[in-house]
Amino acid sequence: MTWGLKFAKFRFKAFAANRKDFYEDFAMALRDGAATIDLLKTRAQRARRRRTGLAPLYEHWLHKMRRMSFGYALQHTVPAFETMVLTAAEEDGRIDEAMDYLGRSIEIKGKTQSIYFVSLASPIISAVVLLGFLISYALVIAPEYLQILPLEKWPALTKSIYFLSSVLVNNGVFFMALCAASFAAVMWSRPNWYGRIRKRIERLPFNPWSSYRDNESNNFLIALSILLQSNNHGIKEALEMMRRFASPWLAWHITVMLHRLKLTPDRPALALDTGLFNQATMDRIEDYADRTEFNQAIYKLAFDSGERFIKEAQRKAIIVSLLAMLLVAAAILLITMSNMQFAQVTEASMKSL
């Protein structure tokens, strides 16, 4: 594999906007009667002429299509969820429709990710401000205070802030390594860790596992709705196909769903109640399924849940920002109280001389 192909695969897979534009344009061309191979050849020639860097990727797909279908040719160059949807839709001759769905799902996912990153801005800025203060306290303010009063005469609050800032400064490398390791562990655990303890943690708000569950449950609904619209997939076949492409965490949920489906084959909505969906979404699934045919219920819910998820993400972002502001306000209050107490103790000490 050449470096040009590696870079093109990275660009296409890592940046959702590239895939969204590709799916929407490709779906429109397919509906107009264009052939898949002709479209890819045209794109490859244009990319070569304009030096966009994507020509090796299109040529890679064309090479793979000599021995496999278009959906499978895209495998490992798009996320597994999208490969699953494309291969299933291609079997049913509905790949243009699947690409439209994927374009919409990427748009919804992009909006939620933007909201998620914006919601992280306030806590990150707050943490940087607090860390900056603690470091400056240990390196600048505390030495000046020590020249005024010995440590044993300091107020308890001032002394506590000093000890905290000193520990942070003296063990900075350790804390940085601990934060990096914790971040890596959390990112690894989101798609890999599963079980009853994980389910309990996901019920708690404002943690990385619950936000991951909400995002993946929306992707799951969209994929399931597309598969169920196919003539080749019932609920059992759709779940089994999704399990082949799923992460260990999602595969565990799907395995539980399949087991429950055996127990209640006439009520498939109940089989989905494994903790993958929050309670509000699960209630809507059951209500829709009671009023209409299950496949149609999932189809209606798929993108409706995406819009609801965006609104819920916006609400959580506002709450997180407010909590971050309250944390900074509380820190400022403690600092002010500490300075006032230190000034009072200093004044009392000078009067006693």
Together in a domain, 92 and 179: yes
In this predicted structure, what is the pLDDT of residue 266? 83
Together in a domain, 187 and 304: yes
Residue that terminates a domain, selected from 78, 107, 140: 78
Could you give the number of structural domains in the chain?
Answer: 2
In this predicted structure, what is the pLDDT of residue 231? 64
Q: What is the spatial distance between Cα 82 and Cα 215, in angstroms, rounded to a whole number?
A: 15
Q: What is the spatial distance between Cα 189 and Cα 203, in angstroms, rounded to a whole number?
A: 16
Together in a domain, 237 and 283: yes
Together in a domain, 52 and 86: no
Residue that terminates a domain, selected from 18, 47, 78: 78
Rg of the chain over all Cα atoms, to the nearest angstrom: 27
Q: Are 243 and 81 in contact (CB under 8 A)?
A: no
**What interhelical angle do 208-228 and 248-263 show, nearest 10?**
60
pLDDT, averaged per 10 consecutive residues of the chain (353 residues), comes to 84 87 91 90 92 90 90 86 82 82 82 75 82 87 87 88 89 90 93 92 86 84 80 81 89 94 87 88 83 78 73 80 85 88 84 68
Together in a domain, 331 and 306: yes
Is the sign of the CA dihedral 34, 219, 59, 48 positive or negative?
positive
pTM for this one? Answer: 0.78
In this predicted structure, what is the pLDDT of residue 232? 65
Residue that terminates a domain, selected from 78, 96, 112: 78
Question: Left if phi > 0, otherwise alpha if psi is -120 to 50, otherwise beta: which for 195?
Answer: left
Together in a domain, 73 and 110: no
Together in a domain, 94 and 74: no
In this predicted structure, what is the pLDDT of residue 127? 83
Together in a domain, 279 and 350: yes
Together in a domain, 281 and 311: yes
Together in a domain, 305 and 194: yes
Together in a domain, 84 and 69: no
Together in a domain, 308 and 237: yes
Q: Are 178 and 273 in contact (CB under 8 A)?
A: no
For 263, how many CA atoms within 13 A lie in the half-sphere containing its CB? 9
Give the structural domain span for 64: 3-78
